[in-house]
Copies of this chain bind each other. A is one copy, B any other.
Amino acid sequence: MKRTIGTIGVLTSGGDAPGMNAAIRAVVRAAIQRGLRTVGVEHGFTGLLDGCFLDMDLRSVGNILQRGGTILGTSRSPEFMTEEGRLRAADQLRRAGIDALIVIGGEGSFKGAAKLEEECGIPMMGIPATIDNDVYGTDFAIGFDTAVNTAIEAIDRLRDTAESHGRVFFVEVMGRQTGFLALEIGLAGGAMDILVPEFTDDFDHLADLLRDSVGQGRQSSIIVVSEGDKAGGVFQVADQVAKRISIDYRVAILGHIQRGGAPTARDRILGARLGAGAVHGLLHGRSGCMVGEVAERITVTPFPETWQRVKSLDAELVELMRELSG
């Protein structure tokens, strides 16, 4: 049985990611196309609890495609994690006449959305947006491609200095407990090696690579370290290597610049596809799911799978990194 949906709500939650605005725009435009009303919820679940609603029309989403961050604002809400909080949220949704809610964020946000749907019966649909790309059920989360490009642009700059001085740079990138960012940044940035949480660090091997590279007359190298690496961070990694081989090195932590900036084409198109896909899904009676992109096609994955199943690094890319690096 299809539900009758007249009004769709949309919110962004968790860490901001470039392309969230493309997704918001697509939700609003796809909904308007089908004669639906759209309501934006400001400041994520915090704003939902407080009833921060905003009627969205074509002008609300004009000229936002190229902007980083999220025009709706975002937050992390401890209160929403309580049942009492969620009761209040459900109440706010009903009072605002919202028949279904689209949540743009990461797995933490989907956990909240899944509970809320379970408890209040209002259909929920998730859209993965996190630069870390650590959500099962999609090859790419919104924001990941932009973050990789921002990081390699930074590495291109570091390489200028590395080459000029004949130096090694240890570069820490984001990614929480996963190495998705580090792997693609390492490959695209021409890194000598990457250190990621998924694999055990082998400092002896790294020192050997550096020794070989100096032997071949090359003085400068980039080593990419994931923030979640077990060594404890980029300084620890550099220390371990410097114990084994004498090198002139510097450390760079890319930090929050990886989050912002105008989204790449890929993130804008992904936002468009998933935003429209979420609206289509709701109208076809789907809920409790996340829309994603797998092997270039739009898919849906039940919420619980997005955090229960583990997304692994692409084995072919890991192999390729090993083959081309050093």
Q: How large is the interface on A (under 10, 10 to 19, 20 to 34, 35 or more residues)?
A: 35 or more
A313 CB–B CB distance under 8 Å: no
A272 touches B165 (CB 8 A): no
A260 CB–B CB distance under 8 Å: yes
The interface residues of chain B lying within 8 Å CB-to-CB of A145 are 265-266
A265 touches B148 (CB 8 A): yes
The interface residues of chain B lying within 8 Å CB-to-CB of A163 are 63, 69, 73
The interface residues of chain B lying within 8 Å CB-to-CB of A123 are none
Complex Cα distance A107/B66, Å?
Answer: 32
A1 CB–B CB distance under 8 Å: no
Shortest CB-to-CB span from A179 to chain B, Å, is 15
Could you give, for residues 66-95 of chain A, a 1 whenever the CB lies within 8 Å of some chain B CB and a 0 otherwise?
111110011100000000000000000000
The interface residues of chain B lying within 8 Å CB-to-CB of A153 are 262
Complex Cα distance A273/B188, Å?
Answer: 11
A169 touches B265 (CB 8 A): no
Q: Name the 8 nearest CB pairs between A and B, nearest first.
A: A157-B260, A68-B160, A160-B260, A69-B160, A69-B164, A295-B295, A16-B164, A188-B265
Can you report 9 A-B residue pairs in the complex whose CB atoms are below 8 A from each other? A29-B323, A58-B216, A58-B218, A73-B164, A73-B165, A75-B166, A148-B265, A161-B256, A188-B266
